[in-house]
Amino acid sequence: MRDEINSVANDTNNTALDELYRIVQGVNAASAELLQSGADILVKLNDEATANGRTNQDDLGKTLNRVLPDIYKGYLRALGRATEVPGRMAERFTKAHRTAAKS
């Protein structure tokens, strides 16, 4: 009887540890996705804000007049990309969790 209880306890512990490992893997992958998405958003904002300045270098006045609208447009596009982050994090978590379960 005691051996059976010990066996069930060991199985339960092993299952719990396996699940904890999969959760940690998923959280790590989701965190990496958050960092990568944040970097992508900053690159997008920079590209939008500086694109017009690179194309109109010969007309400084026109370039200066476009700086604020370009920054604003870049901010709005970056904000739009930021709305995708939670879904991408959830997908990365799920994929990493499933992959860890297979290994």
Q: Domain containing 30: what range?
A: 2-102
Residue 39 has a CB neighbour count (10 Å cut-off) of: 10
- Supply 53's token pair: 């300045």
State what percent of residues in the chain have pLDDT above 70: 87
Q: Say which residues have a Cβ less than 8 Å from residue 41's Cβ, sequence separation at least 6.
A: 78, 81, 82
Number of compact structural domains in the chain: 1
Looking at residue 53, what is its pLDDT?
A: 59
pLDDT tens-place string over residues 38-81? 888 888 888 877 776 555 556 767 766 777 787 788 788 888 88
Q: What is the mean pLDDT of residues 12-24?
A: 91
H helical segments located in 1-103: 2-55, 60-82, 85-102
The model's pTM is 0.63
Looking at residue 90, what is its pLDDT?
A: 92
What span, in angstroms and rounded, lies between the C-alpha atoms of 56 and 26? 46
